[in-house]
Amino acid sequence: MAGSTADRIDITGFNLYYHATRALEDITLAIPEREVTAIIGPSGCGKSTLLRAINRMNDLIDGVRTDGGLRLDGEDIYQRGIDVVELRRKVGMVFQRPNPFPKSIYENVAFGVRMGGNGLLKTRLDEVVERSLKEAAIWDEVRDRLQRSAMELSGGQQQRVCIARALAVEPEVILMDEPASALDPLATAKIEELIFRLKEKYTIVIVTHNMQQAARVSDRTAFLMLGRLIEYDKTSKIFTSPSNKLTEEYITGRFG
Amino acid sequence: MSEHSRRKVSDRLGIGMTGLATALILAILLVILGTMVAGGHRVISWEFLSQPPREGMTRGGIFPAIFGMVFSVLIMLIAVLPIGVATAVYLHEYAKPGHWLTKLVRGAVNNLAGVPSIVFGLFGLGFFIQFIGRGLDASLGKEMLFGQPCILWAALTLALLNLPMVIVATEEALRAVPRDERAGALALGATRWQTIRHVVLPQALPGILTGTVLVIARGAGEVAPIMFTGAAYFLPSLPKAPTDQFMTLGYHIFVMTTQSPDIEATVPIAMGATLVLLCLTIALNLVAVVIRSRTRNALRKGR
Ligand SMILES: Nc1ncnc2c1ncn2[C@@H]1O[C@H](COP(=O)(O)OP(=O)(O)OP(=O)(O)O)[C@@H](O)[C@H]1O
Ligand SMILES: [Mg+2]
């Protein structure tokens, strides 16, 4: 199924090493446009590593080496001369722990746009901030306190501000690494609802430990174990009739 | 003796010893301050602070020494802050931690921190004045403009002395900024420099300011590094340019207590000058505490 025109991210025979240890082994995976793809698997199997490979955040880690293909819209993002800053503007990321800057809510959301340097007028920037906060379903809760610190918000609110912050840059792809794991069920439901709406516009890749969550929000699911891709298919298929025994054991909770 | 009572005794002993040490330090500080206040408070007046010394320093004030101190400390800061902060940013944010060059620079900084201040004085004389200064004069066709002791060389010597302190304080402050926030900024498509400039440095600022204040206090008080590099025994007029010699408080106190023609008359003035220096140092520290807590609160609120 690799290479079809609707595939936004195309991973082929991809390996990643931390120094000498191979954390990802021969991953081949095509992620379609405007769908939610979930990555599941036991702790330490390489989910975060795979996610960070897509916006090259692994570059920050000492001793990381990769080979194989990882294409975004047909372009190999690991080839020489790729502008990583540009790549990350196209591929946004939301982290496991909410990590707003100790700045105002407004400045948090405006940050990426400001750094992009296309000197927007204040009124235009106001619009971008408002639109992003609305898209992230947090506008109503913060509209009266945009100049207050984002640190004063609850964890769930902070996480949605972080999502808004990522949306403000107008990415094509959004990577989410267990975005709801630090949140309570209500806040989690809000994030899931949000993900569901966001896929109209964005391609979303989400790492989760929560099987129900994967089943609820995703269109496709990739199951990883020990750095290998065990199975990748439609979520409905994975959760009803997985073709691999390991997948079945994992989703029915027999290990991991 | 049971294990329990043994632990109780050692606990008491620990509390007692640390308490004693703290009390001792407080006592020493009080005695120093008390001596200076007792011996010097009578001479302190507006005139004392605003007038030059007279009659072989047995009368008059200490204004030129205060002026020269401020002048030299300002130049020192202009030199040491950008270089120190930049080095720390490089070491902590850009350099690979295990790289030999990083280790070399770190080692050099640590060694620099352990060098006695008189050595810096001699180095300043040899390097700044005789090598750079004379060289400048020769190439500019000037006669003894840079090739002699002056504020510039004294301030640069002080800057060198304080460089490790600025680097260490800045690195400490950088280390306190969460990794997550750097990652957050980079993931939004900020460049490394933008991340440092807009996310890391603002949060490190309180720590850098604290380091700066300590450096100011040290720069104001050190005598050995400036003795051969620019400080003068006595000057009839205030310095006008960085290439002039200067009087400064620490050296002035030293001169008054060792070279006065009339010790009896000078001692109260020296005590008064010392009191001023002490108060200045304490005030500086208080200012630092205030600035730090302000910026910290502002940061928490998110400006
Ligand atoms: N910075 C690193 N340096 C060295 N090895 C690492 C690093 N980060 C992860 N690894 C290793 O790579 C493997 C995959 O880690 P990764 O964080 O991707 O797992 P994960 O599936 O996200 O786990 P979890 O569900 O616990 O978050 C693990 O064996 C881990 O020890
Ligand atoms: Mg992970």
**What single string gives the DSSP state of each residue in B20-72?**
HHHHHHHHHHHHHHHHHHHHHTTT-SHHHHHS-EETTTTEE--HHHHHHHHHH
Domains in chain A: ranges and CATH: 7-251 (3.40.50.300)
Mean local confidence (pLDDT), A76-102 = 94
Residue B10 has a pLDDT of 86
> Which residue among A18, A21, A39, A51 is best mutated to probe the pocket of ligand 1, counting the most ligand atoms within 8 A of its Cβ?
A18
Predicted pLDDT of residue B264: 82
Element holding A129 (H helix, E strand): helix A122-135
- Give the per-residue pLDDT at A255: 62
Least confident among A100-109, A165-174, B161-170, B210-219? B210-219
DSSP A180: T
Q: How far is the CA of A209 from the centre of ligand 2 (A)?
A: 9
Comparing alpha-carbon positions, the chain B residue that sits nearest to A149 is B302
The span from the CA of B149 to the CA of B178, in Å, is: 45
A169 touches chain B (CB under 8 A): yes
Interface of B with A (CB under 8 A): 96-98, 178, 180-181, 183-191, 194, 198-199, 203, 299-303
Torsion angle (degrees, nearest 10) of CA B209, B212, B216, B222: 150
- Residue B298's pLDDT is what? 66
- The C-alpha atoms of residue A78 and residue A94 are separated, in whole angstroms, by 21
pLDDT higher than 60, residue A249: yes
Q: State the pairing for strand pair A220-225/A228-234.
A: antiparallel
User: Is the predicted pLDDT of residue B214 greater than 80, yes or no?
Assistant: yes
> pTM to 2 decimals?
0.85
Distance between alpha carbon A208 and the CA centroid of its chain, in Å?
A: 10
- Distance from the CA of B153 to the center of ligand 1, in angstroms? 53
What's the confidence (pLDDT) of residue B185? Answer: 97
pLDDT for B1 equals 62
- Is the confidence at residue A134, as pLDDT, over 90? yes
Question: Which pLDDT score is estimated for B265?
Answer: 81
Interior/surface letters B26-60, b for 16+ CB within 10 angstroms, e for the rest? eeeeeeeeeebbebbeebbeeebeeebbeeebbeb
Residue B127 Cα, gap to closest chain A Cα (Å): 40
Helix (H, G, I), strand (E, B) or coil at B211: helix
Nearest one of A151, A208, A211, A215 to A182, comparing CA atoms: A208
Q: Which of B270, B283, B267 is nearest to B217 (CA)?
A: B283
Distance CA A156, CA A154 (A): 6
* CA-based nearest residue to B273, from B74, B51, B75: B51
Q: Report the pLDDT averaged over residues A214-236.
A: 95
Closest CA to A172 of A73, A28, A46: A73
Q: Are residues B189 and A89, on separate chains, in Cβ contact within 8 Å?
A: yes
**pLDDT above 50 (res A4):** no
- The shortest CB-CB distance from A57 to any of B98, B187, B303 is to B187
d(CA A203, CA A175): 9
- Chain A residues touching B181 at Cβ < 8 A: 99, 101-102
Please give the average per-residue pLDDT across B124-142, as a whole number.
Answer: 93
Cβ-contact A111, A101 below 8 angstroms: yes
Distance CA A127, CA A139 (A): 12
Strand ranges for A74-164 from DSSP E: 75-76, 91-94
Q: What DSSP string describes A103-115?
A: SBHHHHHHHHHHH
Q: How many Å is the Cα radius of gyration of chain A?
A: 18
Biggest alpha carbon–alpha carbon distance for chain B: 84
**C-alpha torsion angle, residues B77, B80, B86, B90 (rounded to 10):** -150
A208 lines ligand 1 (CB under 6 A): no
**Which pLDDT band, with edges at 50, 70 and 90, does A118 fall under?**
low
Structure confidence by residue, pLDDT tens digits, B94-124: 988 888 999 999 999 999 999 999 999 999 9
Alpha-carbon distance B253 to B250, whole Å? Answer: 5
Cα angle B69, B73, B79; round to 5:
155
Q: Which atom of ligand 1 is nearest to the CA of A49?
A: 18
Of A222 and B10, which is predicted with more confidence?
Answer: A222
Tell me the pLDDT band of A23, cut-offs 50, 70 and 90. very high
Please determine, for residue A2, whether its predicted confidence score (pLDDT) is greater than 70: no
Averaged over A206-225, what is the pLDDT? 94
Give me the mean pLDDT over the B205-227 stretch. Answer: 91
The H or E element that residue A177 is part of is strand A173-177
Distance in angstroms (rounded) separating the CA atoms of residues B185 and A162: 11
* CB neighbourhood size of A210 (10 A): 16
Residue A214 has pLDDT above 90, yes or no: yes
| Residue B225 CB neighbours (<10 A) | 30
* Other CB atoms within 10 Å distance of the CB of residue A41: 25
Bridge partners, A221 (sequence order): A38, A233
State yes or no: pLDDT of B281 exceeds 90. no
Interface test with chain B among A96, A99, A145, A205, by most B beta carbons within 10 Å: A99
For residue A23, report the distance from its CA to the centre of ligand 1, in Å. Answer: 7
Amino acid occupying residue B261: P
More confident residue, B109 or A7: B109
Chain A, 79-118: which have a CB under 8 Å from a chain B CB?
Answer: 85-86, 88-89, 92-93, 95, 97, 99-105, 107, 111-112, 114-116
Greater model confidence, B3 or B205 = B205
B61 pLDDT tier (thresholds 50, 70, 90)? confident
Q: Does pLDDT of B171 surpass 90?
A: yes
Whole-angstrom distance, CA of residue A9 vs CA of residue B55: 86
- What is the model's pLDDT at position B229? 94
- Tell which of B96, B188, B200, B299 to mutate to test the A interface (max A CBs under 10 Å): B188
Read off the tokens for B210: 């604290």
Facing A101 at nearest CB: one of B184, B186, B187? B184
pLDDT for position B293:
79
Is residue A41's pLDDT more than 90? yes
Q: Which residues of A touch B301 (CB under 8 A)?
A: 148-149, 151-152
Share of chain B above pLDDT 70, in %: 97
Nearest residue by C-alpha to atom 30 in ligand 1? A44
Helices (H), chain B: 3-40, 46-50, 63-89, 100-113, 117-123, 134-140, 151-175, 179-187, 192-195, 201-221, 224-227, 249-259, 263-301
Of A46 and A4, the one with more pLDDT = A46
Is pLDDT above 50 for B303? Answer: no
Which residue's C-alpha comes closest to atom 9 of ligand 1?
Answer: A49
By the 8 A CB rule, do A213 and A39 touch?
Answer: no
Q: What are phi and psi of B239, to 5 degrees?
A: -65, 145
Q: d(Cα B204, Cα B11) in Å, to the nearest integer?
A: 37
A180 lines ligand 1 (CB under 6 A): no
